[in-house]
Amino acid sequence: MCGRYNLYSSIEILLERFELTNIDWIELSPRYNLAPSQAVLAVVQGEHGNKGGFLKWGLVPSWANDPKMGYKMINARAETLAEKPSFKKLLSRRRCIIPADGFYEWKKDGNTKQPYHIRLKSGEPFAFAGLWDRWERNGEKLQTCTIITTEANPLMEKIHDRMPVILTKETEKMWLDRNVGEEAKKVLIPYDHHEMEAYPISSLVNSPKNDGKELINSL
């Protein structure tokens, strides 16, 4: 699964990396411990290029009766997207990418869990594959998202049996392309482990209240 991540690259780097066209109004501060229910930066394909904006992390389907449903839908399994009513329609028409610099996962060791920070060896920001939806009831409006997960690659399987889908620069374009339908799911595969690294970090990351740069320091 993916339940915590970070995004601390400057807005200028993100502008170039994700080819954003509406950067003028986006205000972004470095975040080292993004957690479910928080507003996160997401990118969709607009009429004139990629658009960045903020979505609440935890998908609330448009048909949901209770927005609290989002707390249970921070992730979506790539293998069953086309089967689940919450995701099937979104797979064809409401795909997004979620920029990140790294993410966290916890490795079970007996009765304890050791947190790890995982990132690209290059240090570049990357994109998770995501889905988004719009919900409205009685004047209340929400725009929310979920991060798609897949089976672990050889690096991640030493820590956890699942990992977020990380897209390459090429597969990002296909995932965002609104002219591509359900077949876009073919890009939802484990990322090349040779391009990733993981290292143990402090348990400070366990609390979302902690959100400083020290969280990504290696033990």
- Whether 185 contacts 82, CB under 8 Å: yes
How many domains does one find in the chain?
1
CA–CA dist 25, 103 (Å, integer): 26
Full residue range of the structural domain in which residue 15 is found: 4-216
- Of the candidates 137, 65, 54, 34, the one whose C-alpha atom is nearest the C-alpha of residue 96 is 54
Output the pTM of the full model: 0.96
Give residue 176's pLDDT.
97
- Whether 106 contacts 207, CB under 8 Å: no
Catalytic annotation on 157?
no
The residue-averaged pLDDT of 87-116 equals 94
Which tokens belong to 171?
């597969």
pLDDT digits (tens, 9 = 90+) for 5-60: 999 999 899 999 999 987 666 788 999 999 999 999 999 998 888 999 999 999 99
CA–CA dist 211, 48 (Å, integer): 34
Q: Which is the catalytic residue, given 2, 96, 145, 172?
A: 2
pLDDT band for position 113 (50/70/90)? very high
Catalytic annotation on 79?
no
Q: Which residues contact 215 (CB under 8 A, 6 or more apart)?
A: 6, 32, 33, 117, 201, 202, 204, 205
Burial of 170 by CB count in 10 Å (0-12 exposed, 13-18 middle, 19+ buried)? exposed
The H-assigned helical ranges of 50-153 are 88-93
- Of the candidates 109, 139, 99, the one whose C-alpha atom is nearest the C-alpha of residue 16 is 99
- What CATH number is attached to the domain comprising 170? 3.90.1680.10
pLDDT band for position 66 (50/70/90)? confident
The residue-averaged pLDDT of 86-108 equals 94
Give residue 155's pLDDT.
98
Q: Is the pLDDT of residue 1 over 90?
A: no
Q: Which is the catalytic residue, given 96, 105, 145, 172?
A: 105
DSSP class of 168: P
Handedness of CA 162, 170, 29, 200 (dihedral sign): positive
The average confidence (pLDDT) of the chain is 93
pLDDT digits (tens, 9 = 90+) for 165-187: 999 999 999 999 989 988 899 99
